[in-house]
Amino acid sequence: MANALNWFEIPVTNFERAKGFYEKVLGVAIETMVMGPLTMGMLSSDPQAVGGAIVQGDGGSPSQTGTLVYLNGGDDLAPMLARAEQAGGSVVVPKTEIGNDFGFFAHFMDTEGNKVGLHSMK
């Protein structure tokens, strides 16, 4: 098994608001797909990478206390964390060094009420 994680979904209540938020935070255009009762915004389109999506539909609710997903913060997560605030989110845990050369992490709240993590090596 190459990766312990294969796919993740971040539940949202207002798809367009969440899509705009994550497009600003990640600096990418998010492709929308409708799959039956679900509206999904693909956060990664690389079939060789771990994929994920923002999802509106039955079966999920935004959460501050459930599983915590860490998004790739690039070389330095600080700019992405700043964009999260500028886009209407809030910083829960500021950029923090992990130690032992494991890099840095931070947590933010998105516009939907999800706590999401970021990780970077610088």
pLDDT in tens, 7-33: 999 999 999 999 999 999 999 999 999
Going by pLDDT thresholds of 50, 70 and 90, the confidence category of residue 58 is: confident
* Amino acid code (one letter) for 2: A
- Per-residue pLDDT reduced to its tens digit, 83-93: 999 999 999 99
Nearest to 62 by CA among 34, 106, 21: 21
CATH number of 7-120, picked from 3.10.180.10, 3.30.70.1230, 2.40.40.20, 3.30.70.380? 3.10.180.10
**pTM for the whole thing?**
0.92
pLDDT for 40 equals: 96
Q: What residues does each domain of the chain span? A: 7-120
Residue 97: both structure tokens together: 């060094």
> Rg for the chain (alpha carbons), in Å?
14
